[in-house]
Chain A
Amino acid sequence: TQLLEQSPQFLSIQEGENLTVYCNSSSVFSSLQWYRQEPGEGPVLLVTVVTGGEVKKLKRLTFQFGDARKDSSLHITAAQPGDTGLYLCAGVHNFNKFYFGSGTKLNVKP
Chain B
Amino acid sequence: DAGVTQSPTHLIKTRGQQVTLRCSPKSGHDTVSWYQQALGQGPQFIFQYYEEEERQRGNFPDRFSGHQFPNYSSELNVNALLLGDSALYLCASSPGEQGPWRGAFFGQGTRLTVV
Number of B residues near A (Cβ < 8 Å) is 30
Is B45 a contact partner of A99 (Cβ separation < 8 A)?
yes
Q: Which chain A residues lie closer than 8 Å to B97 at the CB level?
A: 96
Provided the pairs A30-B101, A43-B106, A48-B102 are in contact, do residues A97 and B111 lie with their beta carbons within 8 angstroms?
A: no
Q: Which chain A residues lie closer than 8 Å to B106 at the CB level?
A: 35, 42-44
Which of the candidate stretches A11-19, A61-69, A72-80, A100-108 sits at the interface with the other chain? A100-108
Is A97 a contact partner of B45 (Cβ separation < 8 A)?
yes
Number of A residues near B (Cβ < 8 Å) is 27
Is A98 a contact partner of B108 (Cβ separation < 8 A)?
no
Is B90 a contact partner of A42 (Cβ separation < 8 A)?
yes
Set A4, A45, A103: member contacting B104, Cβ < 8 A: A45
B107 within 8 A of A: yes
CA distance A102 to B90 in the complex (A): 15
Q: Which B residue's beta carbon lies closest to that of A100? A: B42
Q: Which B residue's beta carbon lies closest to that of A94? A: B56
CA distance A2 to B28 in the complex (A): 32
6 contacts between A and B (CB under 8 A): A2-B42, A42-B108, A92-B100, A92-B101, A95-B101, A98-B100
Ranked nearest first, the 4 interchain pairs of A and B with the lowest CB-CB distance are A42-B106, A100-B42, A95-B98, A45-B103
Instruction: Point out residues on B near A: beta carbons under 8 Å.
Output: 4, 31, 33, 35, 40-45, 48, 55-56, 88, 90, 92, 97-109, 111
